[in-house]
Chain A
Amino acid sequence: MKRRRASFAKLWLLCLALAAVIVARAHYITDLSAFLPASPSPTQQLLVDQLRDGPASRLILIAIEGGDAGARARVSAAMAARLRRDRQFSSLNNGEPVTAERDREFLFQHRYLLSDQVSAARFSEPGLHAAILDTIDELASPVGLMLKSLLPNDPTGEMLHIIDQLERTPSPTTSDGVWVSPDGTRALMVAQTAAGGSDTDAQERAIEAVRAAFADVREPAPATGAKPLQLKLSGPGVFAVGARAKIEHAAVRLSIASSILVVTLLFAVYRSLPALALGLAPVASGAVIGIAAVALGFGAVHGITLGFGITLIGESVDYSIYFFVQSRRLPPNEASASSWQRAWWPTIRLGMLTSVCGFASLLPSGFPGLAQLGLYSISGLIAAALVTRYVLPELLPSGFVIRDVTPVGLRVAGLLRRVRQLRGIHLAAFSVALAASALAVLRLHHDTLWNRELAALSPVSAEDRNADAKLRGDLGAADVRDLVIVSGPTLDSVLSGAERAAQTLGALVDAKVIGGFDSPANYLPSAATQQARRDSLPAPAPLLDNLQRATAGLGLSSGRLQPFLRDVEAASHAPPVTVQDLQGTSLRAGFDALILHERDRWHALLPLHAADSAQAVDTARVMAALQGAELEETRVLDLKQESDALYEGYLSEAIHLSLAGVLAILVLLMITLRSPLRVARVLAPLLLAVLTVAAGLSLCGVQLTILHLVGMLLIVAVGSNYALFFDRQASVHQAGGESLTLASLVIANASTVIGFGLLSFSQVPVLVALGTTVAPGAFLALLFGVLLAAPDVSNPGPPHSGASRA
């Protein structure tokens, strides 16, 4: 016996040390990708890339409020000047015309390669005549005033046309030289970080840089009672950093709070520090082993696994409670432990195995976050159970004893006896009625039972989302919903593809199916298109000839248009425009926003604008038109619909897997209990608890998410232990056993309810979902377990029945 004891403890310590090394060396991921799919379709992959690292994910929207307009404009300019020098930002725009001059130069210099009107026909006599006539019309209108000075160089109006091509989205209002909200009360800026949106650390540093810039240039509030200047930030990176901080904060705070409460509860029960330390050994070992298993299995550990994992294996605290409390009844020596092992270990083992079956249903999930939680719980629970079974008994100091908790059990038993007078037909009727009404509620709420939007998982509060929407509205940067995506092996191939798609989309604009679209080819046409445009420019002599005849009678003599002839000749020899030429202009950011590059694939994004801002784009018609044109590697992506479809796919997958888990539990129980009646007795309280909680949440107007589903699995996992104990109690007919069983279950239940109850008070939706499901569910599982337990359990042995009346 001595030899065995030493080897188990040694093995345990060795395993822990090994796991600790793995945990210390593991790679941790802190972005929100735990809830993005691991093996998506190509379209979903694009979506995920967009969400993680796309240009939109790198935006920080900045507002400066308070003070007066002048102060806001000065601070905006000073901050912008500082942040533009910061390499963390690839672009920063506050409406100041810092790049306007370079933008204009670039567009003007390359107008004959950039304008999609350039063709041989346009430079023929009738083409020139029509174009110049248009330009003269243009001059007569207020718009033309700005272009008057360009006329000698650009009589065909290519410059205005290019600006028109690019400026589809309205710019924010400008006041005092900087962007402001339409009501003029806030100065606005948009920063784009160089790092991707999924690099939460880099996002955090960038946000810090913005705050530091503001703090440094902020002006003291004027004495005249005006509000001091304030900085407001929004955007995906700001949300990710905030969410991470919030989850970390909540996880830390709640873990500490629930640890204190559970430790206090356990100490009140055990009244012994060694017992407390030993009691926490299984759960602590389970946590370390769980993280190590995830690190080995997945290569990296998600922050969410670290944060919530421990709550999922909270059940393992119960193992030591059962062990201590139930072995208490026997004489305090090694024999007590071994007899406990004989009497109760099979029950705990079965309870653990049912939990493992439940959590195994998370393993195949496409959400890496859920799959990790599954592996963590399974390995953690097995480790904790093994530690309880083999290590704890050996670690017990000789003469170890915890306080007698029989009175707790007796008091509960006394309460129950009164309830149990309603035995038999009443109780069955009650259960059936409860189940029926819960089912009725769920049926009534069937359509709205599940929340099918990805936003349901978002840790961003509705308030923050509204503030973000307002800021975007002020900036005129409404969320893009529909995109046409053209993919290919090179940048030039996707630019050509975008140009071909643009022809189809142009027809849809004319048919008023869509209002308009953007294209990266507007910033940088494909090499072939540039070549074709350059080749269509006539030689000087024929151009002069055409021009002279075209301008006859227009009041604009060709003599005034010498600069035009010079520019066209220069353009016909100019090298093609490249990405490098865009550098230093604000057009670079616009272009980059519409191009995605990953490994050996390029994607051109063509955002679609609705014809009527109140209505969504008819993506089916766009898709049909693009298909009709037989464009290769071109598809339509409805971001909102696609991401919701993605989530719904995972939700239904999770529901199916959970049902499979329940089936596995059923099979496991059938094999071990070998009696349909006993299996029904074990499962009935669990199903009743899950149904009641689901119906209760529905009645409270809560829409269920994937996290509620995980919570229901937990109810089954934790509740199965209760039910199995009652089943065991009923079958072994152990005299006086019930009060101790009840005591251990009540204490274990209290620790679970405390732990999860605290989660309900968190600000993080995913934690609230878990807490509000598991806390009431675990309590109900125990209650229904007691009520539906076999009648034998209600008769405690004679030695204790007297004590309860004392």
Chain B
Amino acid sequence: MIADHLFFAGINVLLAWSVYVVLMTGSLSFAQGMFMAVGCYTAGVLTVNFGWSLVPATLMASAFASVVAAVVGWPALRLRGVYLILVTIGITFCGRVLLENFKYVGGVAGFGGMQGATHVTVLVAVALVGAALLLLSRSPLQRTFDAVREDDRVAASLGINVPVVRMIGFASGAFIAATAGSLFGHYMSFVRPESFDILLSVYVVLYVVLGGVNNMWGALIGATVMTLLPEYFRVLAEWRPTVFGLAILLMLLFRPQGLLSFRTLSSRWKVDQRLANLADKP
């Protein structure tokens, strides 16, 4: 059903963007699984047990996830990127174990009763997040992110507080992943902790690698292509990990920046402005 396909593509796009936001600051995060779970379960509890409606529940759950991200990421964000990768992997494992043992939300057996999300909801979320990312790409903050990503020591010498920048990226990524999680839960109606495991996080990172790491469209393309293609080509679906793995290997060997590798300039000096200013000079 096409609605289903659109839905899952949308969820994966949101997850890919959540990785992209962290990647913009030069860090790689594998914690999407965990933050997605936090979003899903928190929003689920709010709607099912407390009667909240979907949108406020999702927003609250996402905000909560960002706070968790800030607290948990703080030790590792100050260190070399490799340590963040390890901590994010660890976060995902710990998250799953904690959820499996948390009887209030069903433990291993899962949590159900969530409803209210449709493919339209997801597409709206995609549009909103996309708009926010677009706004970001035109702002000075994008330049700051790029500086931190490209050379964090030089960025620090320019007065940029690198750990805080990384924190903003990490927390924002968690926010988006949590939103995806909430919508996922309210569409599927029933989830288990095992749906949010490390493999999901790995896949999402690889979507971004495939599509392109330098701009938001790459993540969009990577996620959409890898979600929709297997739906229409059986062979791809059966051999999904191998095909995907091979695609990634080939991409990394020949075009490591991904399919869409451009970076948009956030600021362009307009020539006519300059001429006008020159005219004023003595």
Chains A and B are bound partners = no
Taking Cβ atoms with an 8 Å cutoff, the residues of B that contact A are: none
Taking Cβ atoms with an 8 Å cutoff, the residues of A that contact B are: none
